[in-house]
């Protein structure tokens, strides 16, 4: 969907606050992809990201009176998304297991995933893998630019570097990530077994 002008978004927020469901629907349609992308990067699981995206908009609808018309809606939605993803991770974090049988099942599952070929290769999994390969500062730079949507000027000020230097580093990182994803998604020949 094309960008909504700031004054149009403000009008839609006010209308939605007054019970206009169609106005809220337009806002959801406009911001859905950005919220989902924000959550996909944080969750690393497309299904959880999809579920949480829907929760974000349900919660946003309930708390619509807290959204200020005249201010951009996306940061407010992103804050809800970040809070929900944090709650989700805390709620579903791995808990220690006590029984040997449960531990054996976990080890078997882990080995099976490691041994079996990557039939479930998806771009999102490849992206996650490739991001994990980066040094922490590079990963944080990418998150700040693409998840938190900081501008190049904001990043340059934050890093005390020239905007052109930050832009060049981001270009190199995108190139690196792109090559990594292409390599990860390309069919891989079977690994020869040792004799």
What pLDDT digit, counting tens, does each position of 86-139 carry? 899 888 876 665 666 776 677 677 666 655 554 556 777 788 888 888 888 888
Given a cut of 50, the residues of the chain with pLDDT beneath it are: 1, 118
Give the whole-angstrom CA distance, residue 53 versus residue 38.
Answer: 9
Do the Cβ atoms of 123 and 180 come closer than 8 Å? no
Quick one: 134 exposed, middle or buried, by C-beta within 10 A (0-12, 13-18, 19+)?
middle
Axis-axis angle for helices 73-91, 46-62 (nearest 10):
120
Taking Cα atoms as reference points, which of 50, 168, 185, 170 lies closest to residue 130?
A: 185
Radius of gyration of the chain from its Cα atoms, rounded to whole angstroms: 21
Give the whole-angstrom CA distance, residue 131 versus residue 140.
Answer: 10
Neighbours of 19 (CB within 10 A): 9
Give the whole-angstrom CA distance, residue 3 versus residue 165.
Answer: 29
- The H or E element spanning position 166 is helix 163-185
Q: Calculate the CA dihedral of residues 181, 37, 135, 117 and round it to 10 degrees.
A: -40
């Amino acid at each position: 969907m094309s960008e909504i002008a700031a004054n149009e978004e403000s009008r839609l927020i006010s209308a939605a606050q007054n019970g206009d469901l169609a106005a809220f629907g337009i806002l959801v349609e406009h911001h859905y992809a950005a919220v989902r992308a924000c959550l996909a990067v944080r969750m690393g699981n497309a299904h959880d990201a999809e579920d949480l995206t829907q929760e974000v908009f349900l919660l946003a609808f309930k708390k619509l009176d807290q959204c200020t018309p005249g201010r951009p809606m996306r940061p407010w939605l992103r804050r809800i998304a970040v809070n929900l993803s944090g709650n989700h991770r805390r709620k579903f974090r791995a808990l220690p297991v006590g029984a040997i049988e449960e531990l054996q099942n976990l080890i078997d599952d882990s080995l099976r995933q490691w041994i079996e070929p990557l039939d479930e290769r998806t771009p999102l999994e490849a992206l996650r893998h490739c991001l994990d390969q980066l040094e922490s500062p590079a990963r944080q730079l990418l998150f700040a630019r693409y998840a938190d949507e900081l501008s190049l000027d904001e990043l340059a000020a934050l890093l005390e570097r020239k905007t052109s230097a930050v832009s060049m580093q981001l270009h190199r990182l995108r190139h690196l990530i792109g090559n990594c994803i292409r390599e990860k998604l390309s069919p891989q020949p079977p690994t020869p077994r040792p004799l």
